[in-house]
Amino acid sequence: MVGTALKKYAERAGLTCDGGYVYGKVRHRHIALVDGTGVKLLQIYLGPPACAAEDVRMLQAKRILENCDARRYRLIRQNAVNVGGGRAVVAFLDGPGAMDRIERYISEVMPRLDDLRLDGDACACCGEPLGEAAGYVLLDDYILPVHPECIPEITAQKSAADDGGGEGSLVRGAVGALLGIVAGAALWAALYLAGFVAGVAGFFVGLFSNSFYGLFGGRRGRTRTVIVTAALVLGVLAGQLGGMAAMYGKSAAPNAVEMSRGQYVLTRFEQILISGQEIALRRAYERTGTEAETQEEYICRNWNPEYSANRSEELCEFWVNLGMGLTFGGLSIQGLFFRKNREMHRSSPRRLK
Ligand SMILES: [Zn+2]
């Protein structure tokens, strides 16, 4: 996994090769080297990530590392130096002699960091001096020096952060998802009313729920996947129900005028869910019947010889709509599942030799 040029450098400088990286201590600093696409990356550890966030020395370090003859070392043209999370990453164009240029950079530019008095030998986890005891972990594509006994701790911290403990709010996210449900369901109902295939709107139920969840600052990670998926299911059901409710008064259903909107939706649902017409009518009578006619008269008056044909047609439409809604919705939020997998893949720090 490690290229020949890196391997040779590792031998010369007494660095270790593992996990696709070459790493170790050079000129009092923990560094790591890795091959990228068309580039070689030099990671320089500047101090514990927890302390680095508000440290002005990080900006100064960036300036020092950038402030060199970029052509001589053939740094990439834009954003060649990135500083964050207690480390700097310098990107060099790959090609013949790349390793020589990097070595020159390490011996000529990197020592200028010494003026900043960085905590370059503090454990990335506990912040105590590392001394000779440094072990290394690979965390989110960065090599961090830690005490070997701190590795369980940094693993626990990382998985807590991935659960979204730090950032975002569950409540704000849920409110956003709810708005997404309403917007998506409204679109669904409108399509349903206009006679289009409403299931397509499932795509937007998912899209809106997920987008609003993010816009409102919902908690990230697994929580987001669970809430947005639940919102999709609820939104699809709400869309179908809303569509049926919107048909109220437009439909030639028996007795429609005598029923309230809620009763109408219930009756329509029963027509779908209850296979026996007599049972369905009896229940409808219990809800909407008047003393002016008996149950038998009501059933007689509303008896529909096409009930079973209509019912299976509606049942079919109902399930096709739900199925389509969930399928299209799943398409619009599939990124959540892939991203989650990627995070899980990256989440556990890897102990290096
Ligand atoms: Zn430590």
CA 133 to ligand 1 center in whole angstroms: 10
Q: What is the pLDDT of residue 291?
A: 78
- Provide the mean pLDDT of the chain: 86
CA 150 to ligand 1 center in whole angstroms: 5
Q: What is the pLDDT of residue 67?
A: 94
In the numeric block, the tokens 């090609």 are attached to: 95
The residues, ordered by sequence, that sit 6+ positions from 125 with a Cβ below 8 Å of its Cβ are 48, 144, 146, 147, 150, 151, 153, 154, 157
CA 25 to ligand 1 center in whole angstroms: 17
CA 22 to ligand 1 center in whole angstroms: 22
Structural domains of the chain, with CATH:
4-120 (3.30.1460.10), 170-347 (no CATH)
Alpha carbons 350 and 79: distance in angstroms, whole number: 28
What are the pLDDT digits (tens) for 169-191?
A: 889 999 999 999 999 999 998 99
CA 151 to ligand 1 center in whole angstroms: 8
Q: What is the pLDDT of residue 256?
A: 45
Residue 31 phi, psi (nearest 5): -125, 165
CA 125 to ligand 1 center in whole angstroms: 5
Q: What angle do CA 184, 185, 191 make, to 5 degrees?
A: 95
Asked if 144 and 96 touch (Cβ cutoff 8 Å), the reply is no
**Residues of the chain below pLDDT 50:** 252, 256, 344-345
CA 86 to ligand 1 center in whole angstroms: 15
